[in-house]
A and B are shown apart, each in its own frame.
Chain A
């Protein structure tokens, strides 16, 4: 019997649309350079709508009978919609930026779509090779995108560092996968779980070494300490919308893979890897938030802030319970909305001023009150203040860690979260207290004004009335633990 190819319709849409965007760009050389981005945004929207149709579908993609290499369930659907939504916003904030600063808008937009496609495959993969090749697709897209501003030395440097470390981490990850395959004799998640739950005594060392390699490889991809070294440079050098994408798409997809792999395939060996991830989580959140304190560049600040967030998200992976899963999904959505808002603001500011130094934000409240206010919303949400999205999502995450017996880790997380408040407040102080360096008000372009407004409303919506999304996340996570 043939596998059910109709399960992958959102992926087909993205792939075909990406080709279409390139074709349109090639055929119509007179096209304004922001048009491909808008066109691609439509494609991402279409794929997102197609993904919604799969709500409550629960079906495996059986390549041959008995071998499920992908699984479409509510977990997949939730992440697919989230990734497509992120892509829409990334492309909208890219349009002006690409027109002003980059060439080859068609290729740029197409690769953003293909990256989203890679992320979606990472989410639904339930077989090691499938998940790995999807991860590679995402990574290759980012190697290209990070160095897309090829006339800027910083972008070249960022691209090179990202690619070298990315290749290295891929090798580690693959070596880990080969060890797991050697121990269990299969590459499907179900098969691995079955093999691990009735394993012999002599396998522990090989398993632990395999987990170490896999966690190190994935640690590179999500930028957990001590595998985070490339992050600040990549964030600073990449074209700005790509920085936003690195901190949202790449993290969301990698965590979705991380969580699915560890809670379906490796759950029977939970005791062997729980402590590793908990340790990395603690180090990551402290280190990210402490180093963020000394940053003077907005993008490097966000790089370290995102490293801190990775630490929080790792709590959920270490806990590996259904509650942890739903709070991870919930936190990811809240974090994505918040970060997209923050980066759209930075893009508007950068398009206008050509600077991303924190010092240059001085007096933004006077020059453009709307941007400053929106930025405050985003920063408070990232810091986890009540009423904003970040409070609820972080709270759920910490509680799920506490319930899973990681009380100390939740304690560390609260401290790290408090530290983060300081550097977010420093940015706010810069905008509201310090007098502007350059006089003169300016306006936000209408479209980006709308985008920011939508995202800010989203931040408040999730903060004040989280129930609908939390329910969705709960249903989604339940699918991983149905067995």
Chain B
């Protein structure tokens, strides 16, 4: 393996630690440790997004997964009695799961390496030799201006995807109503 650029060094560093932490999630005996390992994996994934010049995605990843989701997991662990249920969480299906997991990994690796993926976004500044493609993503607006990733997402969200964006607000509304209805105590109920 030849190292061509700083980005590559950073990438492999991130990748190795992220995978190690992911293994930690699965193999840790204590659920709190699993949750902490999960946070590490999620934040390092944000690092990979930065390398891909998807800075908005990486920010969202840190905010939503590094912040929101991990706190949610912690709360769930704290409020429920899941910590009392120690011991291995896998059952008799373990061998089948291993075979299925390996099969999926094989197929995915084959697929990812064999496919000539579309370059949907015109990328510039791509080091030609680097196997890890580091690209500066710059999109053009319809008026021909160059935009950064964050600008482009904002632009698309309020032009092309304005209707799906509004529908997303309906989804949130339904989720909110449902969550409040299901979680709230009945008027005559002692909670």
Contact = CB atoms under 8 A, between A and B. Distances in A.
Interface string B165-191: 001101100110110011000100000
The majority secondary structure among interface residues of chain B is helix
Contacts of B118: 181-185, 195
B170 A114 contact: yes
Contacts of B107: 209
Interface in A71-114: 103-104, 107, 110-111, 114
Given A182-B117, A182-B118, A205 B160 contact: no
Contacts of A184: 118
Given A64-B142, A114-B170, A183-B118, A143 B178 contact: yes
A144 interface: yes
B170 A117 contact: yes
Nearest to A70: B163
A347 B160 CA distance: 44
Interface residues of B, number: 29
A205 B177 contact: no
A31 interface: no
B159 A137 contact: no
A134 B159 CA distance: 18
A121 interface: yes
B131 to A, nearest CB: 17
Contacts of A111: 174, 177-178
Contacts of A110: 177
Given A63-B161, A129-B161, A140-B175, A203 B182 contact: no
B111 interface: yes
Nearest to A150: B182
B173 to A, nearest CB: 8
Nearest to A129: B164
Contacts of B164: 69, 129-130, 133-134
A129 B156 CA distance: 12
B177 A69 contact: no
B108 A133 contact: no
Interface in B101-123: 107-108, 110-111, 114-120
Contacts of B163: 8, 61, 63, 69-70, 130
B115 A206 contact: yes
Contact of B186 (A103, A118, A144, A195): A103
Given A137-B167, A137-B170, A69 B115 contact: no
A136 B116 CA distance: 31
Nearest to B170: A137
Given A103-B186, A133-B171, A63 B177 contact: no
A202 interface: yes
Given A69-B161, A133-B164, A209-B108, A104 B174 contact: no
Contacts of A206: 111, 114-115, 117
B117 A183 contact: yes
A70 B161 CA distance: 11
Contact of A205 (B110, B117, B120): B110
B162 interface: yes
A180 B160 CA distance: 19
A395 to B, nearest CB: 38
Contacts of B108: 209
A387 interface: no
A186 interface: yes
A140 B181 contact: no
Nearest to A175: B108
A200 B116 contact: yes
Contact of B181 (A121, A141, A144, A183): A144
A226 to B, nearest CB: 13
Nearest to A207: B115
Contacts of A182: 115, 117-118
Contact of A144 (B115, B119, B178): B178
Contact of B116 (A133, A137, A202): A202
Nearest to A182: B117
Interface string A7-24: 010000001000000000
Contacts of B174: 111, 114, 137, 140-141, 144
B170 to A, nearest CB: 6
Contacts of A195: 118
Given A63-B160, A117-B170, 16 more contacts: A63-B162, A63-B163, A64-B142, A69-B163, A69-B164, A107-B177, A130-B163, A133-B168, A144-B174, A144-B181, A179-B111, A183-B115, A202-B115, A205-B114, A205-B115, A206-B114
10 contacts: A64-B159, A107-B177, A114-B170, A118-B170, A130-B161, A130-B164, A182-B118, A186-B120, A206-B117, A209-B107
List the 8 closest A-B pairs by CB distance, nearest first. A144-B178, A185-B118, A185-B120, A206-B115, A63-B160, A133-B164, A130-B164, A140-B174
